[in-house]
Structures are given as structure tokens and as C-alpha cells.
Amino acid sequence: MNKLLTAIGAAAILLPAVLAQAAESNAPREIAWGALVPPAAVVAPNLKSKSFLAGASRPSADGPHPPQVPEASWMSSLSQQPYASEPPAVVNELNGQRVRIGGYVVPLDFDATQIKEFLLVPFVGACIHVPPPPPNQIIYVTAAEGFELKGQFDPVYVTGTLKTAPQFTGLAVTGYTLEADRVELRKE
């Protein structure tokens, strides 16, 4: 009986340390956006800069009119997206790792007010008000449980399993996908 009590006492003393170690091994790796860019990656292709009005001309009243483009057809055209001609430069060592990263939400799919599918981007307005960043700076996220944002520009932290699997969403090409376990508002 004395040996049994000694064993139970030792287990009670060791159990918190064992549980802490197990929780620590499952703890997500905190990453910043720079960790998603491989060291040898080219930041941007050699794009020619044009002003907004470069090459624009007014059609004459009797001349040919510009061709009609179906509304939003550009979203289904991969060739219109920057960086679409080459595979995204990603950090393969991150594949399958459990991570936590902060960013901003660009909703893709939602049910009432619950967002279930979105792009996580490093700055406000990316993919909406400005051209998308490079694919290795966009993460396609699925959140099975869904979550709710108070405001469109609220920063969040996303925790889950990161994969180096590119996606084409209509808004942008992504270099990574993430299955979110948790999405939480970031407190500034």
C-alpha cells in the first residue's frame, strides 16, 4: 500500500510537467510574413510601370467602340493575375507545420455573418483596393467552424496547419493554404 501511495504521489508530481511538455509540442509556431518568402525568391517580376492613363485615348464618335467585356470575367482568367505564369515561390519546410500568423481577412465564402473561407493578407485592402501581393504573401484559409468580424479591417490571428498548396481564388493566386483551428481578433 505504501508503494502504491508513493507511485500515485510521484505521478501527481510528474503529470503537470508531462502535460505541459505535450501541450508545448503541439503549440503552434509563431511566424511573420517574411518567413513565407524563400531567401532566393524573386520579389517581383520585371513589370513595366504605366501610369493610369498611359495609352488611353478617347474613341471618336464615329470610330469603333471598345469591345464589351462581360462583367467580372477577369476573375476567372488566371492569365490576368500577376505572377500567374510561374509557380509560387514558397518555403517547403513550412508544409504541414502548425502555425500562428497575424493578418487581415478578405472574405470569400460566408454563411450569414460567419466567414468560413477567406484570404489572409499582410496589409489592409490587399486584393480588394490594390493589386494582390505576391502569392507567397497570400494564404487561402478555410475555417470549418466559421467566425465573425466586427469590422472589415479588423486584424486577426489565425492558427492552424499550413500547407504549400497554391490556390486560384478568382481574386488572387495564393502560395499557401491553411486549415484554421482558431481565428481570433488581434488586440492592438
> Would you say residue 27 has pLDDT above 80?
yes
Please give the single-letter amino acid code of residue 20.
A
- Residue 54 and residue 128 in contact, taking contact as beta carbons nearer than 8 Å: no
CA 160/CA 151 separation, integer angstroms: 23
Q: Which of 147, 66, 159, 55 is nearest to 107 (CA)?
A: 147
Cell readout for 105 is 481577412
Does residue 172 sit within a domain? yes
Does residue 95 sit within a domain? yes
The CATH number given to whatever domain includes residue 177 is 2.40.50.870
Does residue 28 sit within a domain? no
What is the CA 135 to chain-centroid distance, rounded?
Answer: 9
Does residue 113 sit within a domain? yes
Pick the more confident residue, 33 or 67. Answer: 33
Cell readout for 23 is 501541450
Q: pTM, whole model, 2 decimals? A: 0.65
Does residue 89 sit within a domain? yes
Count of domains observed in the chain: 1
Here the contacts of 108-112 (C-beta below 8 Å, separation 24 or greater) are 108/169, 108/171, 110/146, 111/146
Structure confidence at residue 91 (pLDDT): 94
131 lies in which domain range?
A: 78-185
Which pLDDT band holds residue 109 (cuts at 50, 70, 90)? Answer: confident
Does residue 33 sit within a domain? no
Does residue 166 sit within a domain? yes
The answer to which of 31-40, 43-52, 60-69 has the lowest mean pLDDT is 43-52
Does residue 148 sit within a domain? yes
User: What stretches of 52-142 show up as alpha helix (H) in DSSP?
Assistant: none
**Length, in residues, of the chain:** 188
- Residue 145 and residue 138 in contact, taking contact as beta carbons nearer than 8 Å: no
Write the pLDDT tens digit of every residue in 113-166: 789 999 999 988 776 667 788 999 999 999 988 888 877 788 999 999 999 999
Please give the single-letter amino acid code of residue 37.
V
Please give the single-letter amino acid code of residue 78.
L
